[in-house]
Structures are given as C-alpha cells and as structure tokens.
Amino acid sequence: MTGTGKFFVGGNWKANGNKESVKKLVQELNDAKLEEDVDVVVSPPYIYLDSVLNTLTKRIEVSAQNSWVGKGGAFTGEISAEQLKDLGVQWVILGHSERRHIIGEANEFIGKKAAYALENGLKVIACIGELLEEREAGKTTEVCFTQLKAFADAVPSWKDVVIAYEPVWAIGTGKVATPQQAQDVHSEIRKWLAENVSAEASSQTRIIYGGSVNAANSAELAKQEDIDGFLVGGASLKGPDFATIVNSVTSKKVPA
C-alpha cells in the first residue's frame, strides 16, 4: 500500500526568529526555485503570521503552530481557529511532541483541537510519535496508534489532514530514524488507517516524516514508498536548505 497524495513539505519555525531574520527567510523562500508538484507550507510563530502572509510568495502556504480547542473568548494567551482563518492562515500543526511532552497536552484534547480546526476551515498537520524509551520497549506502533485513534475519534474527515510521524528521540537531536525505520512506521500507520478508518483515508492521507530532516538526508528518506514528504524543524530556518528538502521530491520519481 502506498499513498497517492501530492508530496508535502512543511517548515516548523517553532519559537525562533525576529523581525529581521523572518524578513530574510521570506526573501530566501521567495527567491527559491521549488519543484512544482509539492505542497509547501511554513509555520512561523504567531506574532509573525500576518507579516509572513503579506510578504511570502503565494506558492507557499502558511500554518500556525497551534490553535485553541474551541471558540475564542476568555482564554488568555490562546489563539482561535477563527482568528487564524481571519488572517488568511490555511493550516495548523496540532499534537506536536513539544506540546504533548513539555506543555502536557493530552491525546483527547489534541483530537478535539483538530476537529475544531477542521470544522472552521483550517487544514491540519497532525503529529504523532514515540519517545526513546517507548521505542526501546517495543511500543512504537502502540503509542502511535493510540495518538492516531484520538484524532480518528474526533475528526469529521481525513480529507484535510496530513499525518506527521515524528519520533520524539529524533527531533532536534541530530539522530534521524533510518529510512527503513521511518518507512516501517509509515507503512504501519497506513495499514492502521485502512483497518480503522477507510481504504480511501489510507491511500489518500499523506504521511510525512519529521525528526532532524536536513538537506543532506532528505533525498534518501524521500525514496521510501510510504514517506509522502517532511515536517522540517531547524533546517526550515535556512531558505536554501529548505528548498533542497522540498526538491527532494525528485528522488521520489526515480525508481528506488
């Protein structure tokens, strides 16, 4: 089983950057030559969303890094899906491991966030992934499936969802899952979707890999049949590197 969706590369800027560096990065992205058959999305910190939306080429879509679980109101420090839509944001990243493990967001809460975002016209990059001790205990798929089920129980449809598999032990550590390790988990996720959601969701939902993806390793990872793209952290802060990762779609087209 392989996916049929278009290659997808997202850049998660996390809590990095200032006005000057964001302006420079937008300029680099505007100047970059990007392969056409790739959906490209970047996710700046909230406070730079508006300026990025107003200056970035329309070739690249914009995502928020999080959104509130319901309608806005008396929720200090939170941002609602409606406000993101109002700005012109198209995507939101939900369930990122840093939100799960540092902030303490629970599976069910994240599932509800995804449902609310989708109902309000945002597309969702739904993150799942296991900790190092969970992988070492042989619990990788169990953890991923539990996180997936929380999304599946809540979301109305998978049409506007991209799944990002991000092994927590590989995020920002420089440790990368081997292409085979990543492919194995992606294949299991696709199988889970077929068995628990639908054959259509399994073939059409894009499953992207995140975890120390960079310009040097992206082509090798992209060759794997169930890797439909990437969610990039640190390397997305450098325009030329990010462009190289986007353009790794070309290694998808060459028979592996």
Residues marked as catalytic: 96, 166
CA atoms of 23 and 148, how far apart (whole Å): 36
Classify residue 46 by its DSSP letter.
Answer: G
255: buried, middle or exposed (CB in 10 Å: 19+, 13-18, 0-12)?
A: exposed
Residues 120, 1: Cα–Cα separation, whole Å: 31
H helix intervals, 137-225: 140-154, 179-196, 199-204, 218-222
Q: What does the alpha-carbon distance between residue 98 and residue 233 come to, in Å, rounded to a whole number?
A: 12
Measured distance CA(48)–CA(29) in Å, rounded: 15
CA 65, CA 18: separation in Å to the nearest integer? 16
Identity at 73, one-letter amino acid code: G
Count Cα atoms within 13 angstroms, Cβ side, for 112: 9
The amino acid present at 68, given as its one-letter code, is W
